């Protein structure tokens, strides 16, 4: 990118020529970010352009307009959600991009003639999410809303109530508004994008946009599946809490049951501020949630009130934004892989580079449209970053370094594994191989068939499936029921006991209720919950196979998309042959009533939970059983992968570690409330 001419050297006419298209571009980027949850540029690109506009309007105030992006907060409210007016506006923060700029900001505060400012600040991590307002009346949650344009937001109360870190009732009858950040943990972001990519849907650019898209759903059930979390950090009417400092306000919110980030620190000078910034610049990759900077707030709340706000930003706080971490590398190849549902995904293979603490040599290109939009070609020099500090992603191509003989990359038309023609289904962005006998899909399907919510064949993971496939012992799921002891002994690290255990698990799976089989077959759009609804209606697999698409669609909770998918699947002669093989193998085809299968929409599904301390009203075994029945994995130690720690009395080192890692912590009362809500 060409170096911009300093604003100080521009004439008024030159500034006029630059400022109009700059405003237009920023407005478009802002709409994509705030309203559509689908940004097309990285944050630092927007920040750099925005800062340029601020400099232009500062030097040439006659060019400032009321509709400039510098005069607006957030985005316009354009969704179908009910509008909410904020009695106290929810403002944006100003940004600085270096410690020197941060010190200049502090110096201007110290020189304020109207307000005496003590050099004591509360530093907090800048969570990469979206602003959230929670209103309580007499201790009961009555409204949750987004920031919107600062004055008008969106009512997301029903969605907020599905977020486990948001208390529905406070231990005190307070009528008060609390503000904070709604975010999506890194692990949840990765899982969600993997699911969307497998389903042929566009992926989210980063956790912030995933959180925004999830919180602003019209259906709270969708929000519940997205594993959102919150950190609360601000009380506009702090006097009602009886606190005088920001640090004390955070402690008070913790007492009330809110999840508050544990990493705030009160500081007094540049040395302490710099040490904090350096510490979390290093630690940010280790956190289980995304941060994009540090927030500095005047600690004394009366001083905060006295300083007040500009039309857009508070004068008592500022955000230090981390510099972007990018690395240049060269694309050497683009490989295509086939998933369980036939989704064919391109991946760029590049020269290895160090990025955010790891060596990166591959980055998903998601789908053909993404590949074309970025215009990525073999031999291109590209710039890599990590979306949300997690997923390696190509941000841009350096066109100046593109080889002279470069040619546009040609998207394949046949499956890289089986050679079948690739197709676009419905309005998907994904390419799919629709050959049900494609070896790549079969291997992925075998692992899915054995998974917990499907046939629950313990010990049959992807590595064992790969060995069975390589040794030509299985070619479809029916072959699993013909494996013998001697065959299994030929697998790596398999002895008599492991072979016997796997055969026992396979044999036991024959007796599963048929909804597990239907889910395990991997029919597109049919999850565990849909499989249970369908089989409860039809009773057995034979009646389902004879049903029309309309008859399946008419099952309560199913609909035409699943109905058509199920009918199309069973109309395939190869599928009919597979079903007959499973019948001959003695696999149960009958619905046996409610099972312990965890519903896909259970908000506990896949969560890692640690129980610590003494529970007063529940036994440890009762709590563990309930969590596991609802899909959670209860573990004995706290790590970055832990989602929730439930702490009873006398909780020790596990609680301390959870707080250090910023993991959500509940007491027994909050857990029992969640149990009641779920049941």
Active-site annotation, residues: 126
Radius of gyration over alpha carbons of the chain, in Å?
Answer: 28
| CA count, 13 A, side-chain hemisphere, 370 | 26
Number of Cβ atoms within 10 Å of the Cβ of 486: 8
Q: Which long-range contacts (CB under 8 A, 24 or more apart) does 450-455 make?
A: 450/480, 450/520, 451/520, 452/598, 453/516, 453/519, 453/528, 453/597, 453/598, 453/600, 454/516, 454/517, 454/519, 454/520, 454/528, 455/509, 455/512, 455/516, 455/517, 455/520
Number of Cβ atoms within 10 Å of the Cβ of 500: 12
Contacts of 554 (CB under 8 A, 6+ apart): 563
Q: Write out the two tokens for 242.
A: 């009886």
| CA count, 13 A, side-chain hemisphere, 69 | 28
Strand pairing partners for 354?
359
Q: Quote the CA–CA distance of 130 and 34 in Å, as a whole number.
A: 9
According to DSSP H, which parts of 407-527 are helical?
439-449, 462-470, 485-489, 496-509, 514-520
Q: Quote the CA–CA distance of 182 and 384 in Å, as a whole number.
A: 27
* DSSP class of 670: H
DSSP string, 141-191: EEEEEE-TTSSEEEB-HHHHTT-TTS-SB-SS---EEEEEEEE--HHHHHH
Number of Cβ atoms within 10 Å of the Cβ of 675: 15
Sheet holding 633-635, edge to edge: 633-635, 608-612, 644-647, 664-667
Show the beta-strand stretches assigned E in 279-357. 291-298, 317-321, 327-338, 343-355
Q: Quote the CA–CA distance of 44 and 259 in Å, as a whole number.
A: 29
**Distance between first and last Cα of the chain:** 57
Cα–Cα distances (Å) from 449 to 124, 218, 418, 452, 499, in that order, read 46, 32, 21, 9, 19
Contact call for residues 491 and 467 (beta carbons, < 8 A): yes
Q: Quote the CA–CA distance of 260 and 664 in Å, as a whole number.
A: 9
Q: Phi first, then psi: what are they for 530, rounded to 5°?
A: -60, -40
Collapsing DSSP states into helix, strand and coil, what is residue 421? Answer: strand
């Amino acid at each position: 990118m060409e170096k911009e001419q300093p604003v100080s050297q521009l004439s008024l006419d030159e500034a006029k020529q630059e400022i109009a298209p700059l405003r237009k571009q920023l407005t478009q980027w802002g709409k994509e970010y705030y309203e559509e949850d689908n940004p097309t540029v990285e944050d630092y690109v927007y920040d750099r352009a925005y800062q340029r506009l601020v400099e232009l309007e500062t030097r040439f105030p006659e060019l400032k307009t009321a509709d400039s992006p510098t005069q607006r907060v957030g985005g316009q409210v354009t969704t179908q959600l009910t509008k909410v007016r904020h009695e106290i506006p929810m403002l944006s923060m100003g940004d600085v991009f270096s410690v020197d700029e941060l010190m200049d900001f502090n110096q201007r505060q110290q020189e304020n003639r109207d307000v005496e400012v003590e050099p004591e600040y509360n530093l907090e991590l800048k969570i990469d999410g979206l602003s959230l307002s929670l209103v309580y009346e007499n201790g009961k949650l009555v409204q949750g809303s987004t920031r919107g344009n600062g004055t008008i937001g969106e009512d997301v109360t029903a969605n907020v109530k599905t977020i486990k870190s948001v208390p529905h009732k406070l231990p005190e009858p307070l009528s008060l508004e609390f503000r904070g950040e709604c975010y999506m943990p890194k692990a949840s972001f990765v899982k969600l994008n993997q699911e969307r990519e497998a389903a042929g849907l566009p992926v989210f650019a980063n956790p912030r946009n995933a959180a925004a898209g999830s919180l602003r759903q019209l259906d709270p059930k969708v929000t519940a599946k997205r594993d959102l979390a919150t950190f609360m950090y601000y009380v506009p009417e702090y006097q009602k809490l009886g606190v005088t400092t920001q640090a004390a306000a955070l402690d008070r919110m913790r007492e009330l049951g809110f999840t508050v980030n544990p990493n705030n620190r009160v500081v007094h000078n540049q040395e302490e501020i710099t040490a904090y910034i350096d510490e979390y610049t290093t630690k940010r990759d280790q956190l289980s949630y995304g941060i994009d900077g540090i927030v500095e707030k005047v600690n004394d709340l009366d001083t905060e009130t006295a300083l007040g706000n500009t039309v857009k930003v508070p004068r008592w706080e500022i955000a230090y934004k981390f510099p972007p971490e990018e690395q240049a590398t060269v694309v050497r190849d683009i490989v295509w892989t086939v998933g369980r549902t036939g989704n064919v995904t391109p991946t760029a293979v590049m020269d290895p580079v160090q990025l955010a603490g790891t060596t990166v040599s591959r980055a998903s290109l998601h789908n053909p449209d993404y590949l074309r939009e970025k215009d990525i070609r073999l031999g291109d020099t590209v710039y890599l970053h990590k979306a949300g500090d997690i997923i390696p992603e190509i941000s841009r191509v350096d066109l100046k370094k593109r080889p002279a003989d470069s040619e546009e990359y040609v998207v394949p038309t046949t499956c890289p594994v089986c050679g079948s023609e690739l197709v676009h289904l419905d309005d998907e962005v994904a390419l799919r191989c629709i050959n049900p006998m494609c070896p790549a899909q079969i291997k992925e399907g075998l692992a899915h068939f054995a998974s917990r919510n499907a046939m629950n064949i313990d010990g049959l993971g992807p590595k064992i499936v790969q060995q069975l496939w390589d040794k030509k012992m299985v070619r479809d799921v029916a072959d699993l029921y013909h494996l013998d002891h001697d065959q299994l002994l030929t697998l790596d690290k398999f002895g008599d006991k492991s072979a016997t255990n796997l055969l026992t698990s396979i044999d036991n799976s024959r007796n599963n209720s048929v909804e597990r089989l239907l889910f395990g077959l991997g029919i597109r759009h049919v999850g565990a919950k849909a499989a249970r609804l369908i089989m409860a209606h039809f009773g057995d697999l034979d009646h389902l196979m004879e049903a029309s698409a309309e008859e399946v669609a008419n099952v309560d909770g199913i609909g035409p998309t699943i109905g058509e998918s199920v009918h199309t699947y069973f109309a395939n002669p190869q599928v009919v042959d597979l079903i007959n093989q499973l019948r001959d193998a003695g696999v149960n085809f009958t619905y046996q009533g409610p099972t312990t299968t965890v519903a896909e929409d259970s908000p506990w599904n896949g969560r890692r939970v640690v129980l610590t301390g003494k529970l007063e009203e529940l036994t440890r075994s009762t709590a563990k059983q309930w969590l596991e029945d609802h899909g959670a994995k209860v573990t004995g130690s706290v790590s970055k992968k832990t989602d929730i720690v439930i702490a009873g009395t006398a909780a020790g080192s596990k609680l301390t570690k959870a707080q250090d890692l910023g993991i959500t912590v509940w007491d027994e009362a909050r857990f029992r409330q969640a149990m009641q809500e779920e049941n």
